[in-house]
Amino acid sequence: MRVELAQVAGFCMGVRRAMDMALDASMRLGGPVYTFGPLIHNPSALSLLEARGIRILEEIPAKGHGTVIIRAHGVPPQAKERLEHAGFDVIDGTCARVVKVQMLAYAHARQGYTCVLIGDKGHPEVKGIMGYAGEKGLLISSEGDLDGLPPLDKYIILAQTTQDRERFDDWCRRILARYPGGKIFNTICNSTSKRQAEVRRLASRVDAVVVVGGRQSANTRRLAEIVTESGKPCMAVETEEDLDFGQLKDFKRVGVTAGASTPNWVINRVLRQIEAFPSRNEPVFTRWLLQTLRFLHETNLCTALAGAALALSGIFMSGPAPLAGGIAPWRAMASLLSLSPNVLYPVLSTLMAACFIFSMHTLNRLIDMEASVYNDPLKARFLAAHQGTFITTCVLSLLISLTAAWALGPPSFLILLGVTMLGVLYSVPFIPGWKARRALKDLPGTKAIFVAMAWAVVAFLAPLGRWPIFIGFADWCIFFMIAVLVFMRSALLEVIDVQGDKIVGRETLSLIFGENKVLGMVRLLAALLLAVSVGMTLAGLVPHLVILFAIPAAWFMWLTRTFAGHRFGQNLKMELKVEAGFIFLLVCVVLGRVLTE
């Protein structure tokens, strides 16, 4: 089924910051970590925090210890003081936009202004702002409050950040008509108004809209109301389990939006469930194509294909099959099978690379299932359901890879054996760390580097069938260009997986430097790869097909732009786009080889 995700959906800036603060505190600080009241109105996010040992502090005790995170809604100033007096370390997660309203209320109340706040009675954000306004605060949350407004002289009007714009404007007009001279501060958060405007546009383009979010979330409820007002069918769900496929089957194109407190991994699951559901009106070919792509993605076969494409590209770039030596079993096999060495050599090399990459990638996914549950739930579920089959296939693939390497000769076999041992060591904890023994994969920010080196060795160095000291300058250049290309691939995939990695506390490049910096780094590396591959080819330092590295470099540069806009709910499409870079390289190299021979 075709699904369109709203441009603005899921955690807003303030909620995301508060959530990050809580997860960081639970990972880095000793002692108990609390949030003062539920951090957000979403049961899935709350259960995750509970699983990470973050508890909810409902009342402030006389004495306490540990860290308390103040949520994005903020608290009255007295509550913050009482927490500090009780002995807690307080981390203030109040959203900057809420702080602005609190400060407006505080400053004007001190100057004698009455602070009229349009907001929901009992909402934590409203309680916090009223705390800053003190005795000068006046809450309007219903028509009744509006009618019973006392006479106002010197006053300002403020809005709870998630209020509806139309209602706020209307009530301001009515207050000013009765008591002219008041100052209006429109403090509605533009994240809310953008989200509401976007859902109106989305509803006009699709057959029905699914609104994802907690039942207690006011802004999620408002989104559902807007969809209903638009006349399109609306399904409000808390998780993917609430989806009614009996109702969904009649639609061709479904829109998905989510409230500001809905975690991305919940949206992700809902999206993937709807996408996987066949629509009655979907053409058979589209359905077949999507199912095939999904199968390649969920079985990790698309990663193996990317590895195979890289190995073949390297072989074609580097030149003809190495005929020197004459002792490698593959040459004997070629004459035994009456096959041309130029056919058997690339077949064995590609088989070795593809099987190794498939096996290591899948084993690591199986070991690190925790993060996949958040990043790519359907794939995680598929892997978990076929765990036994995957383990058997991984072992068989590794054996096939080692056999192919043995056939390619002693250098290839020993290089692959070395990488296999490093691959196993990668996930085994043996380095003394600050909390427990750590594995190589736990070293902050190194995963992309390890993967890049492993792929470059397996896809290019091992197939060469020569000891590294006998490899020439041009081949080392190709080796490093492949490593850079794979590094960019891993960095882009880490950007997609950032939320799950953050939840399980994995320190990837995206978590250390931030997603934008990583995308900037990929852009820079892609530009460098493009310039170096073109420059070195034109200077005659490397074989002429090396210039084609410019194609995946330009592709990755373009991908950084699309990744900056949408970073979740699109794992399938985004991962396929990343792996497609290697297929493009192979197609261009094959065409180049055919045209120049």
Min dist CB 229 to ligand SF4, Å, is: 21
97 or 269, CB closer to ligand SF4? 97
CA 274, CA 256: separation in Å to the nearest integer?
10
Shorter beta-carbon distance to ligand SF4: residue 98 or 133:
98
Cα(561)–Cα(31) distance, integer angstroms: 41
CA distance 263 to 44: 8
Residue 286 to residue 527: CA distance in whole angstroms: 35
CB of 504 to ligand SF4, least distance (A): 25
Give me 433's structure tokens: 């760390």
Cross-sheet strand order for the sheet of 67-70 = 54-57, 33-36, 67-70, 89-92
Whole-angstrom distance, CA of residue 377 vs CA of residue 240: 11
In the set 58, 84, 125, 579, the catalytic residue is 125
Q: Which is nearer to ligand SF4, 264 or 299 (CB)?
A: 264
SS3 readout for 290-319: HHHHHHHHHCCHHHHHHHHHHHHHHHHHHC
Write down the least CB distance from residue 98 to ligand SF4, Å.
5
Active site residue 81: no
CB of residue 129 to ligand SF4, shortest distance in Å: 11
Residue in the block written with tokens 């006392």: 150
**CB neighbour burial string for 289-313, b if at least 16 within 10 angstroms, e if fewer:** ebeeebebbbbbebbbbbbbbbbbb
Give 14 or 137: the residue with its C-beta nearer to ligand SF4: 14
Min. distance of Cβ 101 from ligand SF4 in angstroms?
Answer: 8
- CB atoms under 10 Å from CB of 397, counted, come to 21
Contact at 8 Å (CB) between 39 and 258? Answer: no
Contact 82, 60 (CB under 8 A): yes
As a whole number of angstroms, the distance between CA 258 and CA 511 comes to 24
The encoded tokens of residue 288 equal: 């077949």
Using a 10 angstrom Cβ sphere, with 0-12 exposed, 13-18 middle and 19 or more buried, the burial of residue 558 is middle
Query: CB 228: neighbour CB atoms within 10 A?
Result: 15
Between 13 and 439, CB nearer to ligand SF4: 13
- Kindly list the residues in this chain that would bind ligand SF4 in the complex (CB under 6 A): 12-15, 72, 95, 97-98, 161-162, 189, 191-192, 260
Q: How far is CA 121 from CA 24, 40, 42, 253, in A?
A: 32, 17, 20, 38
Least separation in angstroms between residue 499's CB and ligand SF4 is 17
CA-CA distance, 501 to 504, in Å (whole number)?
A: 5
CB of residue 218 to ligand SF4, shortest distance in Å? 10
CB of 567 to ligand SF4, least distance (A): 17
Measure the CA angle with vertex 131, ends 130 and 136; round to 5°.
60
Counting every residue written for the chain, the total comes to 597
Q: Which C-beta is closer to ligand SF4: that of 127 or that of 447?
A: 127
Count of helices and strands (H, E) across the chain: 27, 14
Active site residues: 125
